[in-house]
Structure 1
Amino acid sequence: MKKSDSTLRELVRFEFYKLLQQRFLWLLLLVILIAGLYFSVQRMGWPWADRVNTGFEGELTSEMIARAEAGSEAYVKKTDPTAEEKKQNASYHNVLEAASAYDKQSKDVSLLRQEGEEASTVYEKRQLSLQADLTEAIDYRPVGNYQTFDQLLTFSGTGGYALLAVVLILGTAVSFSSEYQTGVAAYLYSSRHGRKQLLTAKLMVSIALVTGTILIYNLVQLLCFFRGHSGWEIPIQAAYVNSPYPLTFAELYGISILYQWVIAVSLVIVLSFLSMLIKQTVVAVFLGGLIVGGPFLIETVLFNTETPDFMLNLMKFTQGQALSVYVLFREYVTVNVFGYPVLLPIAVLVVTLITTLILIKLMYRVIGRRMA
């Protein structure tokens, strides 16, 4: 066994130990998790969340549509419908919406292709052609109860975002700054363990923490709110009407977990690097909060209906907003790369990975020369 490996394990255990001593961090995470679950319970308690889907889930059929139309007409005539009838009507609505979207699909694709042929620039032609291809690939035929999966995605962008924000700001952003505040930075930087091993240990612990956070809250959500399997194959357009992506709720849920993990890890790198350079814990926390939550604050306070689209789309490239993930998939946005349209989620992922790799290399160079 190499001595360096043993030393790294010791440093990792030490970093975990210090993290476990941060009682306020764990208390705040617990409070946010409970609040997120309460929000989920409230949301799943909406009348249309728990549907009566018997006979109205699976592949669309003409017989299913006919029964939904008859049921919807009968419901309109009721003066005082019961809660059960309201839920049943939600199933009728779901079937009829899917049928309408399925009928319109070919017309929408044809219109996009026609607009592409009439476009004045090569980029617009390519952009519209890509949108037409995506729209044509959507399968509107599966119907059923998608509310559980819609809830899981919503929580990823709200409760999950809040949990990761706390971990990143109070855990990662102060990983080095706290060493300065406690006066042990001089020892750590001159330690026989080596500065690069110290950095590696801190990064490993922070990445393990965000990974565990993502896995735990998704597992809790699935255990608490997963209801049957009918929602796996439903297209995300049931909730994101303007999205052209031919994804099911299950596919988007899986992608969102992967994207959120990659973006969270990139934020670990960014905030760890800042923490290396900042000796004041309060400043580190402030800047960490600005990086993670600043994009949403700017969008809420400064942006309005007159804000140009390119500014709104540029904001999605910030790791703070991209951490919500679902904002990348809810509508069609492309980025012009040498005259070719690149889908926003792909562009954000590529930029995030490139930035992360560059920062990692820079961090190890800086830590090798860093003095307390």
Structure 2
Amino acid sequence: MIRHELYKILSRKSLWLVMGGCLALFIFFDPRSSGSNETLADPVYESLYADWGGAVTPDKVDAAREAMRASDAGDQSLLMEEGNVQYVVAVAGNSAAELVERKEALVQSLEREPTGTYAHRESKKELDMLNALENPYGFYLVNGWNSVFALIEPFFSVLLLAIMILLGVTPVYAEEYTKRTAGLILATKHGRRKIITAKLIAALMYTSIIFFLFHGTNLVLQFFIAGSFSGGDAPMQSLPSYLYAFSFDHLLAPYDWTIWQYFLVTMAVQLVACLCFTILVVFLSMLLKQTLFTFFLAGGLLAFPFLLRQFGMDEGFFAYLNSFSYLEFIRVERLFQAYEAYNLFGYPVLYPIMLVIIFTFISGFLIYGSFLYFRHHQVHR
């Protein structure tokens, strides 16, 4: 029964045409496959790694700043690549100093806040996480991994995944009503339970297939572009590559993970987010009974927080609405860029964990609501 429902989804030729177009978009028109990656593969950086690579040290920071000052004054001529690396080392030194300052501030907070209060628990949790980091800053060659992560966070990848989920899942129930077979199915012995279960599992399997196809293609593509996935044991704070985007999104990340560990975590969380969104789409398909209405309503619910942000509605209640939305959940990488915790019964719960808890509860409620709806659904002859 599950196999039959999955076949019904996967046998739509239009779905695979769209899938092929989506894959072609980021394979043939991805800016990461052009000049920037040629620079990333420059062997000059590999030679510079021998002197500057690894965790930052005071001696490296002093040497980098001195060379940068000499270059600015015209006393010394540097290659662009060497100047980039020295800039990375200088920034890493600043980040290391800021980490020490933050830990000192948290120690003071612990001394100031009474034991057992939420403020004390939150400060202790953050301090414990930062103490586990040791020295996560430095210069690492993470070209391949940087390109892999470039697909995960941008809105473009979220849009592609959402479109494929909507196209594949919205007809799950609506198609039965359109063909007028819903009444026949519900009149069967197992129509109100086993078929509902089969449709849900098939939809979740379809989403998983699409998810791994997207990211599997990206892994293969970036391996051929970068040539390797070296640097996987570097701290996640070295992502993305400072050398090219000059982006420092992960400097404040409090998680003691290597890059490959971070990749597995982000993949797991984004997959859970996509599955939760799939459950919502299945539920709406059951209620609305029309593919087009389901497509636009589910898509609207996903995009609504983004639209609010575009109109400057990102404060107070709307800030929580934006933070705890399917869109932010699927964009996953932003969840791990800084320490952020919420009060749950007096205990600090990290933002990513809170999202998983909330959407697991919502998804469970939607699944229960589906069975409850069909239990009392009347079969019309």
| TM-score grouping bracket, smaller chain normalisation | 0.7 to 0.9
Report % sequence identity.
21
Q: Note the 1:289-300 alignment, pairs <5 A.
A: 289-300=299-310
Find out whether 1:19 has 2:10 as its counterpart. yes
> After alignment, is 186-195 or 338-347 more displaced?
186-195
Q: 2:119 aligns with which of 121, 124, 129?
A: 124
User: Per-residue deviation at 1:74?
Assistant: 5.5
Q: Note the 1:107-118 alignment, pairs <5 A.
A: 107-118=101-112
Judged with a 3 Å threshold, the aligned counterparts in structure 2 of structure 1 residues 289 and 251 are, in CA distance, closer, same or farther, namely same
* Inter-partner Cα distance in structure 1 for 2:184 and 2:210: 31
* Inter-partner Cα distance in structure 2 for 1:98 and 1:47: 24
Deviations 1:127-157 (A, max 9, x none): 2232222222223255312354343333112
Q: Which residue of 2 aligns with 1:270?
A: 280
Q: Which residue of 1 aligns with 2:242?
A: none
Judged with a 3 Å threshold, the aligned counterparts in structure 2 of structure 1 residues 62 and 46 are, in CA distance, closer, same or farther, namely same
Q: Note the 1:334-349 alignment, pairs <5 A.
A: 334-349=341-356
User: Per-residue deviation at 1:90?
Assistant: 2.0
* Inter-partner Cα distance in structure 1 for 2:255 and 2:13: 42
> After alignment, is 150-159 or 342-351 more displaced?
150-159
Q: Note the 1:168-317 alignment, pairs <5 A.
A: 168-191=165-188, 194-226=191-223, 227-236=228-237, 239-303=249-313, 307-308=315-316, 311-317=318-324
**Is the 1:53–1:91 contact (alpha carbons within 8 Å) kept by the matching residues of 2?**
no
Q: Secondary structure at the match of 1:161?
A: helix
Find out whether 1:135 has 2:145 as its counterpart. no
Extract unaligned runs of 5+ from structure 2.
239-247
Find out whether 1:98 has 2:92 as its counterpart. yes
* Inter-partner Cα distance in structure 1 for 2:33 and 2:325: 31
User: Per-residue deviation at 1:254?
Assistant: 1.0
User: Per-residue deviation at 1:14?
Assistant: 4.8
Judged with a 3 Å threshold, the aligned counterparts in structure 2 of structure 1 residues 105 and 351 are, in CA distance, closer, same or farther, namely same
Q: Which residue of 2 aligns with 1:28?
A: 18
**Is the 2:200–2:282 contact (alpha carbons within 8 Å) kept by the matching residues of 1?**
yes
Deviations 1:107-130 (A, max 9, x none): 220022213433589322322232
Find out whether 1:351 has 2:351 as its counterpart. no
User: Per-residue deviation at 1:169?
Assistant: 1.5
Q: TM-score, normalised by structure 1?
A: 0.83
**Is the 2:236–2:250 contact (alpha carbons within 8 Å) kept by the matching residues of 1?**
no
Judged with a 3 Å threshold, the aligned counterparts in structure 2 of structure 1 residues 195 and 58 are, in CA distance, closer, same or farther, namely same
Q: Which residue of 2 aligns with 1:53?
A: 46
Q: Note the 1:70-85 alignment, pairs <5 A.
A: 71-73=67-69, 75-76=71-72, 85=79
Q: Which residue of 1 aligns with 2:368?
A: 361
> After alignment, is 225-234 or 329-338 more displaced?
225-234
Judged with a 3 Å threshold, the aligned counterparts in structure 2 of structure 1 residues 269 and 13 are, in CA distance, closer, same or farther, namely same
Q: Which residue of 2 aligns with 1:3?
A: none
**Is the 2:170–2:281 contact (alpha carbons within 8 Å) kept by the matching residues of 1?**
yes
Q: Which residue of 2 aligns with 1:149?
A: 145
* Inter-partner Cα distance in structure 2 for 1:145 and 1:231: 9
Residue type matched to 1:255 in 2? V
* Inter-partner Cα distance in structure 1 for 2:60 and 2:260: 24
Q: Which residue of 2 aligns with 1:4?
A: none
User: Per-residue deviation at 1:42?
Assistant: 5.4
* Inter-partner Cα distance in structure 1 for 2:284 and 2:373: 11
**Is the 1:57–1:142 contact (alpha carbons within 8 Å) kept by the matching residues of 2?**
yes
Residue type matched to 1:234 in 2? P
**Is the 1:142–1:233 contact (alpha carbons within 8 Å) kept by the matching residues of 2?**
no
Deviations 1:263-288 (A, max 9, x none): 21112222111211112222111111
Q: 1:166 aligns with which of 163, 168, 171?
A: 163
Extract unaligned runs of 5+ from structure 1.
1-7
Give the CA RMSD over aligned residues: 3.1
* Inter-partner Cα distance in structure 2 for 1:253 and 1:172: 27
**Is the 2:171–2:285 contact (alpha carbons within 8 Å) kept by the matching residues of 1?**
yes
Residue type matched to 2:149 in 1? L
> After alignment, is 323-332 or 38-47 more displaced?
38-47
* Inter-partner Cα distance in structure 2 for 1:43 and 1:157: 19
Judged with a 3 Å threshold, the aligned counterparts in structure 2 of structure 1 residues 27 and 282 are, in CA distance, closer, same or farther, namely same
Deviations 1:158-202 (A, max 9, x none): 343223201221221331112212333233333466342222222
* Inter-partner Cα distance in structure 2 for 1:75 and 1:197: 72
Q: TM-score, normalised by structure 2?
A: 0.81
* Inter-partner Cα distance in structure 2 for 1:134 and 1:89: 32
**How many residues of Structure 1 are paired with residues of Structure 2 in the alignment?**
357
